[in-house]
Amino acid sequence: MKSPLSGLNPSEWEALCDGCARCCVVKLEDEDTGEIFYTDVACRYLDLDTGRCTDYANRSSINPDCATLSKKNLALMRIMPSTCAYRRTHERRTVILDVKSLSVCGKVVSEDEVAERDLEDHIVDWISVDD
Ligand code: SF4
């Protein structure tokens, strides 16, 4: 079945993002099961006060791990948070309008502050690919 996202024009696509920045945190994947875990460690390019990317236009080149969602890579949806407006639209579910409650601002630290070996200690349950 065609995704409801496929009919969006570029400005409609951009407008759908609520700026929660949940997709802008470091994710860990279980190599055996493929399970995705979210952490409270944000990409170093995220402005922790505004929840906006500080180099949005170049985000996929400056951070190869950036989940740069587009109509051409809807397969990425499997790693997006269950609350993501794109994912919910894609799955024909109600979009959550309480953006303030979704925002990571005030709840995350920068990856510059956390050693890679400690990332597992930062796994959280308030962002998840599951409901
Ligand atoms: S999780 Fe979805 S709605 Fe939130 S910032 Fe990322 S793309 Fe936008």
Phi, psi (5° rounding) for residue 89?
-65, -45
Domain span at residue 50 reads 4-122
Cβ atoms of 29 and 35 within 8 Å: the answer is yes
Q: Which atom of ligand 1 is nearest to the CA of 51?
A: 5
Q: What is the pLDDT of residue 126?
A: 97
Would residue 116 count as lying in a domain? yes
Q: Which of 12, 45, 86, 93 to mutate to test the pocket of ligand 1 (most atoms within 8 A of CB)?
A: 86
Give the residue-averaged pLDDT of 53-77: 93
Residues in contact with 42: Cβ distance below 8 Å, sequence separation at least 6, in sequence order: 21, 24, 25, 26, 48, 104, 108, 109, 110, 111
Degrees (nearest 5) of the Cα angle 76, 92, 25? Answer: 35
Q: Is the per-residue pLDDT at 127 higher than 90?
A: yes
Beta bridge partners of 37: 28
For 35, other C-beta atoms within 10 Å of its C-beta total 11
CA–centroid distance, residue 38 to ligand 1 (Å): 14
Would residue 94 count as lying in a domain? yes
CA–centroid distance, residue 52 to ligand 1 (Å): 10
Q: What is the pLDDT of residues 101-124, one digit of tens each?
A: 999 999 999 999 999 999 999 999
Query: Under the phi-then-psi rule, with left for phi > 0, alpha for psi from -120 to 50, and beta for the rest, what region is 42?
Result: beta
Q: Which atom of ligand 1 is nearest to the CA of 80?
A: 1
Quick check: pTM over 0.75? yes
User: Total structural domains in the chain?
Assistant: 1
Would residue 131 count as lying in a domain? no
Residue type, 118: D
Q: What is the pLDDT of residue 46?
A: 98
Q: What is the pLDDT of residue 67?
A: 86
Would residue 43 count as lying in a domain? yes
Q: Which of 25-29, 30-34, 63-67, 93-97 has the weakest average pLDDT?
A: 63-67
Question: How far is 4 from 31, CA to CA, in rounded Å?
Answer: 31
Question: How far is 122 from 100, CA to CA, in rounded Å?
Answer: 22
Q: Whose CA is nearest to atom 6 of ligand 1?
A: 23
Q: What is the pLDDT of residues 5-21, one digit of tens each?
A: 999 999 999 999 999 99
Phi, psi (5° rounding) for residue 59?
-60, -35
Would residue 127 count as lying in a domain? no
Q: What is the pLDDT of residue 77?
A: 95
Q: Is the per-residue pLDDT at 131 higher than 90?
A: no
CA–centroid distance, residue 15 to ligand 1 (Å): 11
